[in-house]
Every structure is written in C-alpha cells, then in structure tokens.
Chains A and B, each alone.
Chain A
Amino acid sequence: MFFVFVAATLAITWWAARRTRTRDHFYAAGGNITALQNGLAIAGDYMSAASFLGISGLVFLSGYDGLIYSIGFLVGWPIILFLIAERLRNLGRYTFADVVSFRLSAVPVRSISACGALATVILYLIAQMVGAGKLIELLFGLPYESAVIIVGVLMILYVSFGGMIATTWVQIIKAVLLLLGASFMAIAVLWNMGFSFETLFERAVDVHPKGEAIMAPGGLLSDPVSAISLGLALMFGTAGLPHILMRFFTVADAREARSSVFYATGFIGYFYILTFIIGFGAIVLVGGDARFLDSAGALIGGNNMAAIHLAQATGGDLFLGFISAVAFATILAVVSGLTLAGASAVSHDLYASVFRHGEADDAEELRVSRLATVGLGVLAIGLGIVFEQQNVAFMVGLAFAIAASANFPVLLLSMYWSRLTTRGAFWGGACGLGVAVGLMILGPTVWVDVLGNAQAVFPYKYPALFAMSAAFLAAWGFSVSDTSTRAAGEREAFDLQYIRSEMGRVGEG
C-alpha cells in the first residue's frame, strides 16, 4: 500500500514535471486549480500528521482539551476569508511579499517578508521532519536517520521536478485518503457503540483514569493572558503561514479563492470532529486493551499513537497498514508544501527581487527555485537528524507565533491602511519577528524545558499577544513618523492598489 502511494505520487511528479515549464507553473500551477481542488489541497496542507495524531492523542490523554485546540486551529479560516483571501489573490502573483511590496519599496519589504516566511517554514519543517522520523521508525521499523532521509529525498523530487502542480495533486490525494480513513475509523467507533454518542462518552468516562474530568476543560488554559495569547497565535497565525497563503495564487480569480476557503473550512471542520470521535473511541477501545499497553500501563509508542492503535482495533492489520500509509503520505505532502513555500521566498523574493533587482528572467528564477528546493531539502534532513533527541513540540507553536506577529500584521496593514510606508512595514515585521523569537527563548518552553534553567525570564508560554502588539505598534510608529518623499508617494499609490484589490487584475490577464 505504501509502495503504491510512492509510485503513484512519483508518476504524478513525472506528469507534472512535463507541464512545469515556467515559473508561473512552478509557483502557482499556472492558476489552473479549481476551487474544490484548492479547498482540498488547503485542507491537506493543514491536516498534518502532527494534527491528526497529535489532536487525537490529546483527546485520548485529556478529553475535552483536544477540542479546544481543534477549535483554535479552525477559527483562523473565516478570518482569512473575510480579510485576506480575495485581496491576496487580486494583488499578488506567487508569494505574500508580492502583496506587501505592491506599492512599497521591494528590497527592504521583501527581505523582511522572506525572513518571516523562512523562519516559519524552517521551524515547521523541523517539527514535521522529527515527527516523521519517529513515526516511520515506529510504524515500519526503519532506523530514524534513514526515515528522515527517505522523506527528504522524496520531498525534493516532488517539489524540484513537479513544483506546485505535483505538490497540489499529492496534497489532494492525501487529503482524500485521510478524510476517508478518518471517516471509516469514526464510523467504526460509533458502530461499536451502537451509534450512540451517549454510550461512547459513558464508556470513555468509565475507563479513563481522569473519569468525568475528560468531559470539560482541564488545566490547558488556566490564566487569561496565556489563553488570549495562544488564541491570537492560533487564529491569526493561520493567516500568516506562507505555504497556506501561497495556495491562493493557484486559482483563477478572487471568486475561486473565496470558494476554496469555504470548501477548506468544511473539510477541516469535519476532520476535527472526526478526530474528536477517534480520540474518544481510542479511550474506550485502545485504552482498555492490554494489547496496546506496555507493562506500566502506558500506550505503546506514546499518546500520539492512539489513532494508529485504534486503526488496528477497529479494522485489523489491513486497516492499520492503510492508516500508516496515509500518515506517511500526510507527512510527505505537508513537508513538500512547506519546502515549496520556502523555496519561493528564496528565489522569488530574495534572489530575483533583492539580489538581482528584478532583472532575473523566468528561466533563471525557475533554476534558482529548484536549487533552493534542493538546498532546503538537505537543510531539513540535516536539522531533522540534529534535533532527533530534542523536544520539538514548541517549534510549531513558535512558527504560529511568528506567522501571527511578523507576517500577518504587515500583510493586513499593507492591504487596509493607506498610511503604511516601507519603513513602517520593515520595522513592523522585524519587531514582530524579534519579539516573538526573543520571548519564546526567554519563556518557559525554551529557557526552562530546553535549556534547563530553573526559572523563566518571561513568565508566559505563548508570546503572540506581546509580539503582535509590538509589530502593530512599530508599523504604526515608523509609518506616521516617516516624512520622506518616498513615503508620500507610497501613500498616494494606495488608491490604485485599493481599486485593484477589489476589482482584480483588470486588463492584464
């Protein structure tokens, strides 16, 4: 099953490679993706193995708290639709930095946007690679290093040859497989309970060590500052993830961009509801079954294996094989999307605009983006191996914090605030990035858990509330105090940008 998937995706890559002749194909699949396809691909980008196994594992461990995370991950989507999606599509071509630099000066703005994009992508990639290595080690018995190298090499092949066309189709196939597999598992759980939610919850409460506590919020968010800060990072982080934003350039127009968010929200919401049922099903069917527990009574392979064990409990070895293959496919698809977003930041923003000042031609930029893909792939493999023994759970949180505090504020202000200038955008992005990284290092997750200090310098785990405020404040302060002639021109250009952001690319195809 596993080899069938790899063979099929390589065939798609070969097919896509023959269609990838220009950078328009490489970055944006030529704008030929339909809304439904893009909705599935977006959902695929978002439903990572980490969220499938992690959230079902969190539900298995503490019940209701898993639902709190799911809701946080979902509510960012309506915000993307209402504020960003169509304007992003109307103003940009390949990266979100296109939008920010629409009327602002390209070199500083693209440099800082590319830094934010790369920081997000690399942190996310490390977390995915380490998770992938451990999961494959456990599922297929491969050594950790080989697992990381296999994932890295396949990802380089998909992205460098097939570009956005291959990445999108790998993502669509994987999203369909994952939705089918999760649906089957949730139905199997409910069938076991006589299709009664009441029975499912009653039996879960009976066998779970925490008893009735799993039906209500536990200790996840106890103080309001952490609660709001995490809430902001989850809600607005989604709107600053470069591999997600990039997907809006693969559809034909603003109308399709909007519809794709509608489909994606539906698929992701449905998936999270399934994950919740799967987690509760695992409490009953896996947590009470000695086959899946070690001598100390803990789950074999850790709590994140709850969904994998449930596959065996409900569908036997054949279904276990299917779900394992789907988990592998999920990892590959997500790292491919991330690598493509990172490569486009390097080639389109840094190389073509900053380094070559827009003089690189299509073929040259395409060559650089392929090289950047290989470079990022090798980097991901290397970092994946280096971080094997490290706690990488904080990295996804940090990626969301950076996305919410460095990328999102600058993108939002560039679309809606006429007085934003290049100076404001640069310092806004830089402050958001710096404060998010700084507070994360000084906070409990890195300063205490990773570096082993006794007391955190900064008391909160989630920096987004402070970092986002710093970014908006810096962008505002550095913009209104900017009296240069360049700034005056940039403010005047807002009108034209505004009309285009509403009307689309009129008269240029």
Chain B
Amino acid sequence: MDIATAHKIRENPKFQVMVARKERMGRRLTCFMLVVYFGFILTIAFAPHWLAVPLSETGVLTIGIPLGIAIILSAFAATGVYVYWANTHFDEITREILKEAGH
C-alpha cells in the first residue's frame, strides 16, 4: 500500500467509524469472556461449595456441571457473534473504503 492510498483511507470517515465499532465490539466481547472465565476461576478458588449445590433434592447433578458446559457454549456463541458481524457488515464497509481509495 502506498502512502497516498493510506492517507486517503485514514481520512475517510467511514474507516474511522468502522474501525472504532469493530474495536469496541472486540473489546466488549473480550471483557465478557474475561469476566465469565475469571469469575468461574475465582469462584473455584474462593467459594467452591457454590458449585457443589445440587440441582434437585434427589439427584446428584450439581449446578457446577451445567454451568461449566454453559461457559464452553458461551465461548462458541461469542465467536459466532463476532464472526457474523465482521464477515458481513464490517467486511462490506472495508470493500467500500478500498473502492473509494481507488482499489
């Protein structure tokens, strides 16, 4: 990429808006994962008995097991959300920006 093209891209307000939105989404989802995971880890360190609470009076299933599976599923869901937005909306704007910069 030459300097002139780079300059054109940087001055394009679409670029600034798109990059800010993409980074904000990445930051929010990263924080979401950090809170979920370190919340889980700290619960194990400080209050493991919370995870040992049985789900029903008679059964052996504890709350910790569906919660653990839910963390795995939420990690997958979070990647799905990001990929959906980035691969449709953000990539389309990226193409427009490049076209306007002469590519």
Contact = CB atoms under 8 A, between A and B. Distances in A.
Given A201-B60, A255-B87, A223 B45 contact: yes
Contacts, number: 162
A78 B29 contact: yes
A77 interface: yes
A507 B59 contact: no
B37 A71 contact: yes
Given A82-B82, A255-B91, A502-B19, 19 more contacts: A64-B62, A64-B64, A68-B44, A77-B75, A78-B30, A82-B26, A215-B52, A216-B49, A216-B51, A224-B46, A228-B42, A231-B41, A255-B87, A262-B80, A269-B73, A269-B76, A502-B94, A503-B94, A503-B98
B103 A507 contact: yes
A86 interface: yes
Nearest to B26: A82
B18 to A, nearest CB: 8
A70 interface: yes
A449 interface: no
Interface of B: 1-3, 5-6, 9-10, 15, 18-19, 22, 26-27, 29-30, 33-34, 36-38, 40-42, 44-46, 48-49, 51-52, 59-62, 64-65, 68-69, 71-73, 75-76, 78-80, 82-83, 86-87, 91, 94, 97-98, 103
A325 B21 CA distance: 48
A75 interface: yes
B64 A231 contact: no
8 contacts: A75-B33, A78-B79, A198-B59, A201-B61, A255-B91, A265-B79, A504-B94, A507-B5
B40 to A, nearest CB: 7
Interface of A: 64, 67-68, 70-72, 74-75, 77-79, 81-83, 86, 197-198, 201-202, 205, 212, 215-217, 220-224, 226-228, 230-231, 235, 255, 258-259, 261-262, 265-266, 269, 272-273, 276, 495-496, 499-500, 502-508
Contacts of A224: 42, 45-46
B43 to A, nearest CB: 8
Given A86-B86, A503-B1, A75 B68 contact: no
Contacts of B52: 215-217
Contacts of A227: 41-42, 44-45
Given A75-B33, A496-B3, A499-B6, A216 B48 contact: yes
Contacts of B48: 216-217
A221 B46 CA distance: 9
